[in-house]
Structure 1
Amino acid sequence: MTPGYALTVDPDLRDLRAADHLLLKLAAELALPEGMFGCTHLVRDDRPRVALSFTLPSEPLLRTAREALTGQGHEVTAGLPDAVGRAVAYPGSAALTGTLTIAELLGRSAIDRVTVLGAAEPPDPGTRLLTRDHVRPHWQSGTLVLSAMPAVGGVLVPFEVPDPTPCCADH
């Protein structure tokens, strides 16, 4: 993750889906450029929650975003909360819809590599990935990595599902 021009917003949310929604809403309201990264970060302290971070390509954009977010009443701090964010908005993310090959996914986005659960080797570039229109890679040692898993029909799917069943939903 490139921390050059970064800021963190702590909206005091505990729900990851709500944090995704807010991050995308704020990015749209701020008209942030394609070159930015918007990530969620799990904050594990005495008040567990999800923080948001935005990494922007220039200091003037950072300043403008900070002023706008602060003006909306958000708690904004400089820098990133950690180096392992979950990317929600990133270069090329909007183009990751439908079914793509691994080569297409890597060529269209800022994702650096794909790993498959239980596999020692990366997937073949021609392997198809059913995106489910929900591709959330994670930063690992400065590299944006998508974790995928095998699915029916010989395709891969992102490990993270778009609409997870809440714990204990049937109780």
Structure 2
Amino acid sequence: MTHTAPVPYVLGVDTDTTTLREADYLLRALASELALPEGVFGCTHLVRDGRPRVALSLAAESEPVLRTVRDRLTEQGYEVSDGAPDEAGRAVLFPGADALTGTLTLAELLARSAIDRVTVLGTPGEPDPRTLLVTREHVRPHWQDGRLVLAAMPAAGGTLVPFEDPDPTPCCAEH
């Protein structure tokens, strides 16, 4: 897959969601409802102002695609603005995301998706492209310096898993 820097047309969408899980669900529901084309990037952004929440961004290579999206989201009552809330969005929708299931080598992950690079927590340098990644069907790379980067961590049997857990335990769940 051709790796790309952030695409030139970006919309920010203010939401009332307060968790990443809610924002992921909303982003996927909107993508389906709006019939977004394959090449659209959809990201979440933590907003830490007087009203903490998770905002969304949608990015496409074609301005007319997002013009229609802007109109439809505005009609639904969302506050829509030009540009992303920040440059470090967490990608939920990106080219190739649906192909990242099961266990893949890092080379396969990079070839199948718009992800540019994989980093492994606690290790210097680039990981071996033959290393296996157990996706857990939850791959959420972040934009870093215009590149889509997946943070991974070591797991059992010399494999890796994405750093973000698909089913995190809420803080203080046992208290």
Pick the TM interval, shorter chain.
Answer: over 0.9
Give the CA RMSD over aligned residues.
0.9
Match of 1:40 in 2: 44
CA positional deviation for 1:2: 2.2
Does residue 163 (structure 1) correspond to residue 153 (structure 2)? The answer is no
What runs of 5+ residues in structure 2 fail to find an aligned partner? Answer: none
Alpha-carbon contact 1:87-1:139 (below 8 Å) kept: yes
Deviations along 1:25-80, whole A, 9 cap, x unmatched?
A: 10111111111100000111121111000001211101100011111111111111
TM normalised by structure 1 equals: 0.97
Kindly state the Cα deviation for residue 3 of structure 1 after the two structures are TM-superposed: 5.2
What TM-score results when the alignment is normalised by the length of structure 2? 0.95
Check whether the contact 2:7–2:61 (CA below 8 A) recurs between aligned residues: no
Residue 68 (1) aligns with residue 68 (2): no
User: Aligned-pair distance for 1:4?
Assistant: 1.6
SS in 1 for 2:55: strand
2:146 paired residue among 142, 157, 161? 142
C-alpha distance in 1, partners of 2:152/2:34?
Answer: 31
1:49-68 aligned within 5 A: 49-68=53-72
**Alignment-derived partner of residue 27 in structure 2:** 23
Alignment pair present for 1:94 and 2:76: no
1:78 aligns with 82
- The percent of aligned pairs where both chains have the same amino acid is 69
Distance 1:56 1:70 in 2: 18
Does 2:14 match 1:10? Answer: yes
Structure-1 separation of matches of 2:112 and 2:14: 30
Distance 2:42 2:75 in 1: 19
The farther-off stretch of 75-84 and 88-97 is 75-84
Q: Any conservation in 2 of the 1:41–1:51 contact (CA below 8 Å)? A: yes
Letter in 1 for 2:25: H
Deviations along 1:53-108, one digit per CA (max 9) or x if unpaired, are 00012111011000111111111111111100000000000000000000000000
Cα shift readout 1:114-167 (whole Å, capped 9, x = no counterpart): 000011011101000000000000001111000000001110000000010111
How far 1:10 sits from its partner (Å)?
Answer: 0.8
CA separation in 1, counterparts of 2:32 and 2:107?
28
Aligned pairs, number: 171
Which consecutive aligned stretches of 4+ in structure 1 deviate over 4 angstroms post-superposition?
none
* CA distance in 2: counterparts of 1:122 and 1:46, whole angstroms: 39
> Is contact 1:3-1:80 (8 Å) kept?
no
Structure 1, unaligned stretches of length 5 or more? none
Q: Are the counterparts in 1 of residues 6 and 147 from structure 2 also a CA contact under 8 Å? A: no
